[in-house]
Amino acid sequence: ETGVTQSPTHLIKTRGQQVTLRCSSQSGHNTVSWYQQALGQGPQFIFQYYREEENGRGNFPPRFSGLQFPNYSSELNVNALELDDSALYLCAMARERGETQYFGPGTRLLVL
Protein backbone atom coordinates (compact mmCIF):
# COMPACT_ATOMS: atom_id res chain seq x y z
CA GLU A 1 0.00 0.00 0.00
CA THR A 2 1.69 3.18 -1.23
CA GLY A 3 -0.77 5.67 0.25
CA VAL A 4 -1.17 7.27 -3.17
CA THR A 5 -4.75 7.48 -4.40
CA GLN A 6 -6.18 8.41 -7.79
CA SER A 7 -9.65 9.25 -9.00
CA PRO A 8 -11.62 8.27 -10.88
CA THR A 9 -10.63 4.64 -11.45
CA HIS A 10 -12.25 4.47 -14.88
CA LEU A 11 -13.48 7.11 -17.28
CA ILE A 12 -15.07 7.13 -20.73
CA LYS A 13 -14.95 10.30 -22.84
CA THR A 14 -15.55 11.19 -26.45
CA ARG A 15 -13.06 12.71 -28.85
CA GLY A 16 -12.67 16.47 -28.39
CA GLN A 17 -13.77 16.52 -24.77
CA GLN A 18 -11.64 17.57 -21.79
CA VAL A 19 -10.76 15.46 -18.76
CA THR A 20 -9.29 16.08 -15.30
CA LEU A 21 -7.62 13.29 -13.36
CA ARG A 22 -6.70 13.60 -9.70
CA CYS A 23 -4.02 12.23 -7.42
CA SER A 24 -3.45 12.60 -3.69
CA SER A 25 -1.26 11.28 -0.92
CA GLN A 26 -1.60 10.85 2.83
CA SER A 27 2.04 11.79 3.39
CA GLY A 28 4.17 14.85 2.62
CA HIS A 29 5.28 13.97 -0.89
CA ASN A 30 6.80 17.07 -2.46
CA THR A 31 7.21 15.50 -5.89
CA VAL A 32 4.45 14.20 -8.15
CA SER A 33 4.94 12.73 -11.61
CA TRP A 34 2.37 11.69 -14.18
CA TYR A 35 2.80 8.86 -16.68
CA GLN A 36 0.76 7.49 -19.56
CA GLN A 37 0.80 3.75 -20.16
CA ALA A 38 -0.65 2.43 -23.38
CA LEU A 39 -1.56 -1.25 -23.64
CA GLY A 40 1.54 -3.45 -23.88
CA GLN A 41 3.95 -0.54 -23.33
CA GLY A 42 5.94 0.80 -20.42
CA PRO A 43 4.79 4.01 -18.74
CA GLN A 44 5.75 7.22 -20.59
CA PHE A 45 6.69 10.31 -18.58
CA ILE A 46 4.30 13.24 -19.04
CA PHE A 47 5.59 15.77 -16.49
CA GLN A 48 6.71 16.24 -12.90
CA TYR A 49 5.86 18.87 -10.31
CA TYR A 50 8.02 19.74 -7.32
CA ARG A 51 6.71 22.08 -4.65
CA GLU A 52 3.98 23.32 -7.04
CA GLU A 53 6.39 24.14 -9.90
CA GLU A 54 6.82 22.11 -13.09
CA ASN A 55 10.15 20.29 -12.81
CA GLY A 56 10.40 18.49 -16.13
CA ARG A 57 8.24 17.50 -19.05
CA GLY A 58 8.23 14.60 -21.46
CA ASN A 59 7.35 14.58 -25.14
CA PHE A 60 3.66 15.40 -24.74
CA PRO A 61 1.77 18.29 -26.40
CA PRO A 62 0.63 21.38 -24.46
CA ARG A 63 -2.93 20.07 -24.27
CA PHE A 64 -1.58 17.93 -21.42
CA SER A 65 -1.28 20.22 -18.42
CA GLY A 66 -1.06 19.84 -14.69
CA LEU A 67 -1.14 21.39 -11.26
CA GLN A 68 0.21 20.55 -7.84
CA PHE A 69 -1.52 21.99 -4.81
CA PRO A 70 -0.13 23.00 -1.38
CA ASN A 71 -1.69 19.88 0.18
CA TYR A 72 0.48 17.73 -2.19
CA SER A 73 -2.48 16.66 -4.34
CA SER A 74 -2.24 17.04 -8.10
CA GLU A 75 -4.32 17.22 -11.25
CA LEU A 76 -3.66 16.15 -14.83
CA ASN A 77 -5.80 17.94 -17.42
CA VAL A 78 -6.08 16.81 -21.01
CA ASN A 79 -7.87 19.01 -23.54
CA ALA A 80 -9.19 18.11 -26.99
CA LEU A 81 -9.06 14.39 -26.31
CA GLU A 82 -7.90 12.12 -29.12
CA LEU A 83 -8.49 8.40 -29.59
CA ASP A 84 -4.79 7.73 -28.89
CA ASP A 85 -5.17 9.28 -25.43
CA SER A 86 -6.87 6.04 -24.36
CA ALA A 87 -4.49 4.61 -21.77
CA LEU A 88 -3.80 3.99 -18.10
CA TYR A 89 -2.76 7.25 -16.44
CA LEU A 90 -0.45 6.81 -13.48
CA CYS A 91 0.48 9.24 -10.76
CA ALA A 92 3.69 8.63 -8.83
CA MET A 93 4.81 10.43 -5.72
CA ALA A 94 8.16 10.85 -3.97
CA ARG A 95 9.27 12.79 -0.92
CA GLU A 96 11.94 14.68 -2.85
CA ARG A 97 13.28 14.93 -6.40
CA GLY A 98 15.31 11.92 -7.41
CA GLU A 99 13.91 9.71 -4.67
CA THR A 100 11.97 6.52 -5.22
CA GLN A 101 8.61 7.07 -6.87
CA TYR A 102 5.54 5.17 -5.65
CA PHE A 103 2.60 4.71 -7.94
CA GLY A 104 -1.10 5.12 -7.33
CA PRO A 105 -3.61 2.60 -8.71
CA GLY A 106 -4.10 4.55 -11.94
CA THR A 107 -7.03 5.90 -13.94
CA ARG A 108 -8.05 4.00 -17.04
CA LEU A 109 -9.27 6.44 -19.70
CA LEU A 110 -11.15 5.33 -22.79
CA VAL A 111 -11.71 7.87 -25.56
CA LEU A 112 -14.42 6.98 -28.08
Which of 30, 44, 65, 73 touches another protein by CB under 8 A? 44
Q: Is 43 in the site for another protein (CB under 8 A)?
A: yes
Q: How far is CA 71 from CA 49, 80, 101, in A?
A: 13, 28, 18
Select from 73, 83, 71, 96 the least CA-distant residue to 20. 73
Q: Is 101 in the site for another protein (CB under 8 A)?
A: yes
Binding mask 53-82 for another protein (x = CB under 8 A): --xx-x------------------------
Which of 24, 25, 33, 74 touches another protein by CB under 8 A? 33
Q: Is 28 in the site for another protein (CB under 8 A)?
A: no
Q: How far apart are CA 61 and CA 17, in angstroms?
A: 16
Which DSSP string do the residues of 5-60 spell out, in sequence order? Answer: EEE-SEEEE-TT--EEEEEEESS---EEEEEEE-TTS--EEEEEEETTEEEEE-S-
Residues near another protein, by CB under 8 A:
33, 35, 40-45, 48, 55-56, 58, 88, 90, 92, 97-98, 100-106
